[in-house]
Amino acid sequence: MLAQRPPMGWNSWNTFGWQISEDLIVHTADQMKESGLLDAGYEYLVIDDCWALKQRNESGRLVPDPIKFPNGMKAVSDYVHSKGLKFGMYSCAGTMTCGGYPSSLEHEFIDAKTFAGWGVDFLKYDYCYKPQNIPGHILYKRMGMALKNSGRDILFSACNWGSDECDKWIRSSGAHMYRSTGDIQDNWQSIKNIALSRMDKECYSAPYCYDDMDMLVVGMYGKGNVALGGCSTEEYKTHFSLWCMMDSPLMIGCDIRNMNEDVRTILMNKELIALNQDPEGRASYRLTQWNNPEVTILIKPMSDGSFGIGFFNFSDSDAEGSLQFWDMGLETSSGYSLSLRDLWEHEEAGVYKENYTCRLKAHACKVFRAKLV
């Protein structure tokens, strides 16, 4: 069964936009394998918008652009699979994709068959140019039905940006993950807005259908298609920690052929990924500090009885993070303390009774795995 855990992979859009090609995909596949990203869990390699010719062929099928993909999609898919990766593609529920290419409206079943024939394992399904006369949920239900009956297991990644109150119905369309916000940009304000907009909505994300807070911008440093400003390494750490703690799919968006050491360290932080990939898939709940509402504490219940605990400073100045254990249900009279392990420093941070307090730089975070002792 697909999407038992939040899907992980790489997507071409954030950095490359329309500038995609077989060459890029082949080298990215090589790099996913050689860099250790695949071993860390990143298994889907997804080609986003702008891969097709503007016209379908005479049998009504989508055709890959022969300049970008001279050997067709089956060849690309075979290469991706030969590296032990899974292959993802993109289409749209409206009359055209957002980039102006042919979409799957009224072609859902034939397109699902085409994708299955190319060995596609993942379909991102966008929402641009949606016709007025058909409710959006029907369009996602149609494609969900078409994919399930395509003869291949294809993970369905819905992308209607959280519109039409999709939290309420998208799971029943068959979607395995669904975009709940507008497009991310490579800057702090965008990361902050997306994260805050998805707080207190943890009930909507669970195994087999996860809340997708959009692709990661970690490592873009202001270069590429959505690179509007860039972030510091510290901000990328906070971004990655939030996406892990909130059970978002982890889809890398930077150019992994040129990752620096900081970026590798962030994307391959196995202790943080373990929070995200916990089998029970319980997304974090929020505690707000009464004395500083811009410091958010997230608590993620893990299947082994431990907790992920994250302190996030959304403010523009240094701040204190302080957790009273009583606020997460742990009373002093229980006799328990919390033993904290720092998941960025990869070391034990001590045993605490009743509360824990730390200092956080602007836009920074601390994330712990906490065990009752």
Site for ligand GAL in 220-279 (CB under 6 A): none
**Which residue from 196, 159, 129 is spatially nearest to 11, judged by alpha carbons?**
159
Number of H helices, E strands in the chain: 10, 16
Name the catalytic one among 65, 183, 262, 342: 183
Scan for tokens 């050491």, then name that residue: 261
- The answer to whether 128 contacts ligand GAL (rule: CB under 6 A) is yes
First vs last C-alpha separation in the chain: 36
Determine whether 167 is an active site residue. no
| Interacting residue with ligand GAL among 22, 111, 126, 211 (CB under 6 A) | 126
Residue (219 or 281) nearer to ligand GAL, CB: 219
The string of DSSP letters for 101-160 reads: -B--TT-HHHHHHHHHHTT--EEEEE-TT--TTS-HHHHHHHHHHHHHTTTS--EEEE-S
Q: Min. distance of Cβ 6 from ligand GAL in angstroms?
A: 17
How far is it, in rounded angstroms, from Cα 261 to Cα 233? Answer: 11
How far from 153 is each of 134, 145, 349, 353, 369, CA to CA, in Å?
Answer: 27, 12, 43, 48, 34
Contact code string over 31-70 relative to ligand GAL, x by CB under 6 A: -----------------xx---------------------
Determine whether 183 is an active site residue. yes
- The answer to whether 140 contacts ligand GAL (rule: CB under 6 A) is no
- The answer to whether 121 contacts ligand GAL (rule: CB under 6 A) is no
List the alpha helices (DSSP H) in 218-286: 233-245, 261-267, 270-276
- The answer to whether 183 contacts ligand GAL (rule: CB under 6 A) is yes
Pairing of strands 250-252, 8-11: parallel
Q: Min. distance of Cβ 215 from ligand GAL in angstroms?
A: 7
Non-local CB neighbours of 130 within 8 Å, separated by 6+ positions: 93, 94, 136, 139
Residue nearest to ligand GAL (CB): 98
Name the catalytic one among 126, 186, 211, 278: 126
Residue (42 or 101) nearer to ligand GAL, CB: 101
Q: Are 225 and 12 in contact (CB under 8 A)?
A: no
Q: Min. distance of Cβ 96 from ligand GAL in angstroms?
A: 10
Site for ligand GAL in 76-115 (CB under 6 A): 97-99
Q: Are 267 and 240 in contact (CB under 8 A)?
A: yes
Q: Min. distance of Cβ 102 from ligand GAL in angstroms?
A: 13
Residue (167 or 294) nearer to ligand GAL, CB: 167
Q: How many CA atoms lie within 13 A of 300 on its CB side?
A: 33
Q: Min. distance of Cβ 321 from ligand GAL in angstroms?
A: 32
- The answer to whether 213 contacts ligand GAL (rule: CB under 6 A) is no
Q: Min. distance of Cβ 180 from ligand GAL in angstroms?
A: 11
Structure tokens at 311: 């302190």
Binding footprint of ligand GAL on the chain (CB under 6 A): 13, 48-49, 97-99, 126, 128, 159, 183
Query: Catalytic amino acids?
Result: 126, 183
